[in-house]
Amino acid sequence: MPQAHNGLVDDSLDNLVLSARARVLADLVARHQATAAAVSALEDACESRQWWAQQWPEGEVYVAGLVAQDVQDALFENVGRWPMCLACDDGPVHSLYIQPDLGGPEPVWVCEETGQVAAALGHLAR
């Protein structure tokens, strides 16, 4: 397979990962969490999920949500919870999480308390 990295399959995976990166970055920016540490965690997540999708092409629909979950986990360990739920007025402060839990298809942020959809991935309100 000459020039496999220029083939259509790899190009589409590159685009998929770039799009996942853009969506997660938009949600980091929306919540003022686009720190150097968060962006670095995002780069790591994109790299490992790109590798993962190369091994299992059917997994492509899960990439964006999985990248978001990876960044969420990395931030939780080092910085704190992201993204927070802004919709609920009472009760303890809580996070949003990615639904479907597998990461896709069509990943959305859901309130962990009410199960209500807050936004599609990449569309969190500021």
119 binds Zn ion (CB under 5 A): no
108 binds Zn ion (CB under 5 A): no
Q: Which stretch binds Zn ion (CB under 5 A): 20-28, 36-44, 67-75, 106-114?
A: 106-114
**Which residue from 16, 26, 39, 88 is in contact with Zn ion, where contact means CB under 5 A?**
88
81 binds Zn ion (CB under 5 A): no
Residue with smaller CB distance to Zn ion, 16 or 120: 120
Residue with smaller CB distance to Zn ion, 39 or 94: 94
Residue with smaller CB distance to Zn ion, 17 or 111: 111
| Geometric angle at alpha carbon 94, from 88 and 98, rounded to 5° | 100
Give the whole-angstrom CA distance, residue 67 versus residue 33: 15
**HEC-encoded secondary structure of 46-110:** HHHHHHHHHHCHHHHHHHHHHHHHHHHHHHHHHCCCCCECCCCCCCCCCEEEEECCCCCCCCEEE
Do the beta carbons of residue 23 and residue 63 sit within 8 Å? no
**Which residue from 85, 98, 110, 121 is in contact with Zn ion, where contact means CB under 5 A?**
85
**Which residue from 111, 121, 122, 124 is in contact with Zn ion, where contact means CB under 5 A?**
111
Question: Residues 55, 46, 21, 25: is their CA dihedral positive or negative?
Answer: positive
Residue with smaller CB distance to Zn ion, 58 or 89: 89
Show the tokens assigned to 72.
Answer: 């969420």
Chain contacts with Zn ion (rule: CB under 5 A): 85, 88, 111, 113
